[in-house]
Chain A
Amino acid sequence: MSTKATAPVLRLTDVHRVHGDGEAAVHALRGVSFTAYAGELVAVMGPSGSGKSTLLTIAGGLDQPTSGSVEVEGTDLVGLSHAERARTRRTSVGYVFQGFNLVPALTAAENVALPRELDGVRSGEARRDALAALEEVGIADLADRFPDDMSGGQQQRVAIARAIVGERRLVLADEPTGALDTETGEEILRLLRARCDAGAAGVLVTHEARHAAWADRVVFLRDGVVVDESGSAPVDDLLEAGHA
């Protein structure tokens, strides 16, 4: 079902993240390494507090690892300045969060166009890109609605459109279906899957084994360590072995 592409889009190598210091230090991640290739959707699972969200924010350059390296499309984010990491997020990385993903003061199209506009693209062009992305997630007709006038599922579709607008090749999703009913959640995951099939790399944090089934691989985290990885083995085998 999956064709493993050659180029790694995201590669974390021995990433540590410590919050605070001394007695109060919290090791959110301790030596995590993993890779996501183009065309691949990787699910990250684990109990609450295991470091899943931390992993994702580090992967997108919103947070810096205490040690280790984070490569996005071949560039190590650790060495970059604040502004350069922001640039990476505009051009290479798209985020989808659990909820409140959208800027309430902007319409759907404007929310999607946000990374393009921040990148300095003319608003006309940014809007064209945004409409194309909305088309792709199937809600082009909602382009001029404000988030307050949309359902939760529609809002998440807009968020996904924003994550993929402008040919970005790494989509990071942190429990994107958490606030949605089952059916709508499935719909969102199908969109993510489709995007990865079209050549992007996706990392999906989820609690639910059902959702992990959409992934090509599953990475298990516990207390900041990767305890298991399905590797090239079928996802279902792993799920049954470890967590049925």
Chain B
Amino acid sequence: MSGRLSGRRGGWSLALRLARRDAMRSRGRSLLTLLMIALPVAAVSIADTVYATADISGVEVVERRVGGGQAFVDAGYGAGSTVFQMPDPDDGVAVESRTRGGASRDAMTLEAVEEVLGPRPAITYAQGSVAYETELGVGDVEVLEADLTDPLAAGLVDLTDGRWPTSTDEVLVNADLLERGPGEALSLRDGTELRVVGTAESGSYTNYARAFALPGTFDLGEPSRWVVGGEPVTWDEVLALNRLGATVVSRAVLADPPPDSELPLEVQWGQSLLSGPALTILVLIVVMVLIEVVLLAGPAFAVGARRQARTLALVAAAGGTPAQARRVVLASGVVLGLVAALLGVVLGLVLAWAVMPGVQRFSGQRFGPYDVVPTHLAAVAAFGLVSAVLAAAVPAWLASRQDVVAVLAGRRGDPKPSRRSPLLGLVLMGAGIAGATYGGAQGTSGGGEIPIAVSAIVCVLAMILLAPVVVGVVARLARRLPLPLRFAARDAARHRTRTVPAVAAVAATVAGVVALGIAVSSDEAQNREGYTATLPDDAAAIVDYRRRPDLDAMARRVAEVAPDVTVERVLGIRDSGRRRNEVRVTGPDGGRILTGWNSTLGSSMLVGDAVPAAMIGLDDDQRAAADAVLARGGVVAFSDRALEAEEARVRLIRHDGRERRSTRVEFPAYFVTPEADFPPAQGVLSPAAAEELGAEVVGAALYLPGPLSTAEATDIDEAVSGIARSASFYVERGYQTDDETMIAQLVLGGLGAVLMLGGTLTATFLALSDARPDLATLSAVGATPRTRRSVAAAYALVVGFVGAVLGALVGAVPGIAITYPLTGPYDYYGAGRAVGPSHYLDVPWLLVLGVVVGLPLLTAALVGVTARSRLPLTARLD
């Protein structure tokens, strides 16, 4: 009769037809599923398209880089080095210096280039930064010098107004520079006035103040870059120039790049960027997103299959095999997946186009023309299709096992729950925990992150398998609860096919949020712990780093802008400038006692008859002991190790130009071991000791004990930088969470909330539409509309709460594990001298509480408010 093969084909065409019609018949559910899959596809498409547009390497808009010529030769690395480049040097360059053996570091010349390429037309191209006078002071302008009117320069600079410069006292400026008001002329610091003859923009960049002029206008040194014309520059010629130390952007090479095998080994790392760990992490991320999308779309397919139960039973009665029934449900995944993938890509392309100008504003590189990478988009679309088919797979499998006779008799034919899958879930959970433990045990030695990420996915899969059991337990526990909760819990347990993906989607989201939350806040805890204050809290210090510091002027300005603020002077030895003092403190045995210090108070050695208040790192007892020694004319010195000695040898070296004279004296001493890695100075000399050593004592810093208000701090900061740009004003505010961490936490919480709300809401409304016959029965026996709303809210609560609790538990496993590699002690010196606790663990309880308790309540409230309280009395099962 009929061949097996044709049977398959027939099955698919029938299945696809059924799926298409079914999708059209239940528009609401289809739309929901479409969005669930199309939105992530669109998001990735936007990112990819923006990236491709921003990326201008390769043959695209090559005229911005080689002008009207054949190639751009850049010998900026200097002759005497050999460079290795990718066909496009922007994609990767390696430099091998051969400066030893007398090779010169002289700049390469055009003659050397022409020796390789033969004589050909060329123009020089020089870039640099030049200071110019502004109304307020001095600004920097990026300048480009080239023979701008030469055909070889066409495309490097776009003239927007005026004319090209014709002599070296003329200049073009860009809009950014014009805004800062050079007006008619650009005055350089050396007094040169350049006439502005027009405005222009760089072909490549959109940021900074820029000026464009003919060669020789600014003093940019010997030219080392050229745009060359003539014949196309071949890959062999590029390699020859590389050997001379020049990189080359060749139009011909970019248009027809050599095969990877011909690339120099030195730059092949550029090719293998996507190998090893990076690829693994990419795969893990894709798998995680896939799981999330599949889980979010899962309930819709489960309800769809439920609605098709009668159809599937009829198919079975008409002689359809279980495989054919499965195909009908899978086909809805194929149909919706295809449409969603297309929709997502199209949406992504349109949105990418719409947001492009906004993104360009954040980038200094001028984007290329709108650029689409079809292979990437095909992969993203395939991802959408695969996630839809996967989301339909379990409902399809269950649908093919439904009790046909029961469905035909008008009952529900849910197959019995599997006993094996919870067991498998337990096994997987064990494996996940073991993997996470293993990964955590690797500590900071590296390689722990990937087992932990894999174990996170394994834990999520295990959780999906265990979720039915948990839902069943909750239903049993709900026996004593009020009717809406009891009804919702029972209903959730009875219809596992739709409840489980919804619960799992919420749980997977929460797991991600909790795991990342633990990681971020533990990292934060470590940073807070590792933070060392430089001054007492809310105190401030002013240090003048100019060659001739003027603390008096600073103090006067501070008194003007903040009259209520106390200003103290911190003294120290003069340790900068041409005439400077250098102090070396050694223990009684003559050994070095301190490896390093920060001169945060303007001098490496402070001077005072007591320890300055600005100096922290001593407790009260230490301070008293130190003050006593200073009063006796001694010294206080920080030392890495605790020292019991009472004397220190202090050597003072006075530098004066090339001359140096040294004095050595022994003093009574008090040694302090600093709390932080580095103390703010080597120590404190008493004035008597300083005098005996012959040290020059100067005002090192101004100390403002404070506490300073934010407004005062701002005023003083402005006043201080008004006097000297190289003066610093620092207020100690203790540890501050940096903006990026804050933003990361906000984004994390926001994303989690959106996914959780989305997952719970869709699952709830799908469940409600599926439970309509039951609810109709409820109404028929006299339940009020309020009851119906409560049932709806209760269902959302059950799904959200069970999902959140499961997710928090599952997320804690990789979350805690990752803190070991993330916040463990790092061995900076590679000498086994790692210090600090094994890891920091800070669980963001507020976040966890918000996600586990707050969000489910919020969703329940939302559902309760929005659920339709009136209900058409239909009980039709199709």
Contact = CB atoms under 8 A, between A and B. Distances in A.
Given A100-B878, A118-B14, A105 B316 contact: no
Interface string B314-341: 1111111110100000000000000000
Nearest to A99: B410
Interface string A95-124: 101001111111000100011011111110
A157 interface: no
Contacts of B3: 120
B311 A105 contact: yes
Contacts of A102: 314
Given A63-B405, A119-B2, A86 B7 contact: no
B698 interface: no
Contacts of A207: none
Nearest to B21: A105
Interface in B442-474: none
Contact of A106 (B1, B21, B321): B21
B404 A62 contact: yes
Nearest to A53: B409
Given A110-B17, A119-B1, A105 B22 contact: yes
A87 B877 CA distance: 27
A119 B310 contact: no
Interface string B6-24: 1111110110011001100
B620 to A, nearest CB: 82
A119 B7 contact: yes
B408 interface: yes
Interface in B206-226: none
A90 B3 CA distance: 14
A117 B14 CA distance: 7
A162 B22 CA distance: 21
Contacts of B1: 91, 119
A117 B10 CA distance: 6
A114 B6 contact: no
A83 B318 contact: no
A118 B11 CA distance: 6
Interface in B380-416: 404-405, 408-409
B120 interface: no
Contact of B319 (A63, A100, A119): A119
Contacts of B318: 89-90, 95, 114-115, 118, 162
B25 interface: yes
A88 B316 CA distance: 11
A213 to B, nearest CB: 27
Nearest to B878: A104
Interface in B64-113: none
A123 B317 contact: no
Contacts of A4: none
Contacts of A91: 1, 319
A224 interface: no
A152 to B, nearest CB: 14
Nearest to A114: B318
B745 to A, nearest CB: 48
B319 A88 contact: yes
Interface string A66-107: 000000000000000011001111110101010011111110
Interface in B1-49: 1-4, 6-11, 13-14, 17-18, 21-22, 25
Interface in A19-36: none
Contacts of A105: 17-18, 21-22, 25, 311
A230 interface: no
A39 interface: no
B11 A104 contact: no
Contacts of B878: 100, 104
Contacts of B314: 101-103, 114
Given A82-B322, A100-B878, A105-B25, A122 B6 contact: yes
A120 B319 contact: no
A103 B321 contact: no
A104 B311 contact: yes
B258 to A, nearest CB: 53
Nearest to A83: B321
A87 B2 CA distance: 11
A120 B317 CA distance: 16
Contacts of B21: 105-106
Contact of A103 (B7, B315, B319, B408): B315
Given A105-B18, A106-B18, A86 B316 contact: yes
A184 interface: no
Given A60-B317, A91-B319, A95-B318, A123 B13 contact: yes
Contacts of A89: 316-319
Interface in B486-519: none
Given A120-B2, A123-B10, A57 B405 contact: yes
A236 B878 CA distance: 40
B643 to A, nearest CB: 87
The 8 closest A-B pairs by CB, nearest first: A90-B319, A120-B7, A105-B21, A89-B319, A120-B2, A120-B6, A115-B318, A120-B10
Interface of A: 53, 57, 60, 62-63, 82-83, 86-91, 93, 95, 97, 100-106, 110, 114-115, 117-123, 162
12 contacts: A60-B317, A62-B404, A86-B321, A89-B316, A89-B319, A95-B318, A100-B878, A115-B318, A119-B2, A120-B8, A120-B11, A121-B6
Given A105-B25, A114-B314, 17 more contacts: A57-B405, A62-B317, A83-B321, A83-B322, A86-B316, A89-B318, A90-B320, A97-B408, A100-B877, A100-B878, A114-B14, A115-B318, A117-B10, A119-B2, A120-B9, A122-B10, A162-B318
